[in-house]
Structure 1
Amino acid sequence: MHFTIFYIVTFLLTCRCSTANGENACGSLMEWLRSTTVSVDVKNKGFHREVETTVELHHDAFKDIRVLLLYKWPRGVYVDPYQLSFLAEKVDWQILVDSAIDLEVPAHQASGFVTYVYPALSERPKVTIPVHGRYHRPSFAGKAFESVTIEAPRLLLRTEECSKWDNLEPHTVMEAPCTADNASTCLWIDVNQQKHGHVRLQLPIGDGSSVRAVCTITLLVTITCCLALSKYMWKHRLG
């Protein structure tokens, strides 16, 4: 009888302590999230760029924190799955693309897509993703470049230390793949973090007014080369 009472009291005290620790963890998490920032930058020029994302974290507060960057890419750019597979062994982050990507279609026939990036935990995770510009329709108004805007990614966090998801305002909770293997989904805190703007790419486009002249010159050059080749083959009795 005494053992039963002792067990019940111990269990209640343990639950109370766990609840208090959980509340403290959630409170600390809220303070920690307020100082989290995400910045994005772009490197290189032309059609082949690198989008670099840096996250400012204070990871010492939570040992089991997991980080997820959710990118929503515009249709004017794409990532090459084959290139990403090649880079997988050289970088400390993993990536999951939400849909198949056609590398050949122009921008006006493409669709935007989403990628989930899982960086290794550090105080300042940094992810550099190679992206490529799609070809755009030529301009008949004299424009030489097309502008493509890339927004900073959304930052999602997950930790087992805070299990109370109903008091995280202004942050929300959403479902996303647990890992890059996409085997299951988990609940993540969608951090309403400070974003350091966005980046805008200037991609060169063709001059629509010169299409007729270019096509005419190309046709003439092709006919000339064919005639010269035919004459050479006839002269030397080739074929």
Structure 2
Amino acid sequence: MLIILLLISPNSSKDSPCQSLNVSLTQKIDNEGFHRELKWLLERGPTSLQCKLAIRLDVGPEMYLNPDQIADLNRLGHLSVLIVGDVDVEAPAHLSKGHITYIYVPPFAERVSLNVPFHLRYQRAQISGGYGKVIVNKPSVLALSPQSEIKAPCDISNGVLCSWRNVSYQALFDEVELLVPVGDLDDYPLVSIVTLLLGCAGCIYTLSVLSTTPL
């Protein structure tokens, strides 16, 4: 009897609906300029609705998710997002580090829409100006799986690590490359001279006012 149970147990695990998922992901980016929004539509089969899924996005140094903005969306129940890593929203791209984001998919729905706001960072100025490139990394889809070796937070509380596995999914989108305007170094000498002259003029005016004001 024990031998039969041991033989059945692995097979039942392999036949679990969470082991063979049929998932597709559509991605669209809305808005222009430095403030954008990732729009995902995740679709899965009806037999896997009880499986816990999450989307992992590796965010490069050229962009960021605002922790305060994400916290508000979490609090209002619009999203369930965890940011792993420190995020300096004021730093330019060349002084920033990337961070990892987990977007937890609401359960028991075949179609789930997720709208995640993100922001592009200012990039270092270059000769002749122009535009810098920002690559939006392809997201990974994870499924909770006790037998897997990938460790990631169970939920947005980030209190406990769970075992997850990568899910192969149908990506209904192409790789995204965004453009962000950068400063023009050709104008640097002119800007420096004008700034210096304005600073000197301000100092002279301040001294003249102080010298004519009775103590």
TM-score range, shorter chain: 0.7 to 0.9
CA shift for structure 1 position 99: 0.9
2:150 maps to 1:174: yes
- C-alpha change, 1:64 and 1:12, in structure 2 (3 Å) is farther
Partner residue, 2:193: 216
- Any unmatched runs of 5+ in structure 1? 1-8, 166-171
**1:143-158 mapped onto 2 (5 Å cutoff):** 143-158=129-144
2:39 maps to 1:52: yes
The answer as to whether partners of 1:38 and 1:152 remain within 8 angstroms in 2 is no
105, 126, 132: which one aligns with 1:119: 105
RMSD over aligned Cα atoms: 2.8
**1:63-82 mapped onto 2 (5 Å cutoff):** 63-82=49-68
2:47 maps to 1:61: yes
Deviations 1:175-220 (A, max 9, x none): 2211111122222231121222232221110001111110111111
Partner residue, 1:186: 162
Amino acid paired to 2:141: L
CA shift for structure 1 position 78: 1.2
Query: Which structure shows the bigger proportion of residues in helix conformation?
Result: 1
- C-alpha change, 1:55 and 1:209, in structure 2 (3 Å) is same
The answer as to whether partners of 1:51 and 1:128 remain within 8 angstroms in 2 is yes
Q: Distance in 2 between matches of 1:29 and 1:119?
A: 17
204, 220, 225: which one aligns with 2:181: 204
Q: Identity of aligned pairs, percent?
A: 24
Q: Distance in 2 between matches of 1:208 and 1:86?
A: 38
Q: Distance in 2 between matches of 1:87 and 1:235?
A: 56
Amino acid paired to 1:204: P
The secondary structure found in structure 1 opposite 2:39 is strand
Deviations 1:8-45 (A, max 9, x none): x8x9999988777655434x852xx2x41122221111
Q: TM-score, normalised by structure 2?
A: 0.84
127, 130, 133: which one aligns with 2:117: 130
CA shift for structure 1 position 236: 4.4
**1:87-102 mapped onto 2 (5 Å cutoff):** 87-102=73-88
Partner residue, 1:169: none
Q: Which has the larger radius of gyration?
A: 1
- Any unmatched runs of 5+ in structure 2? none
Farther off after superposition, 84-93 or 46-55: 84-93
- C-alpha change, 1:219 and 1:50, in structure 2 (3 Å) is same
- C-alpha change, 1:92 and 1:15, in structure 2 (3 Å) is farther
Q: TM-score, normalised by structure 1?
A: 0.77
The secondary structure found in structure 2 opposite 1:25 is coil
Amino acid paired to 2:51: I
The answer as to whether partners of 1:41 and 1:199 remain within 8 angstroms in 2 is no
203, 208, 212: which one aligns with 1:226: 203
Count of matched residue positions in the alignment of Structure 1 and Structure 2:
213
CA shift for structure 1 position 69: 0.6
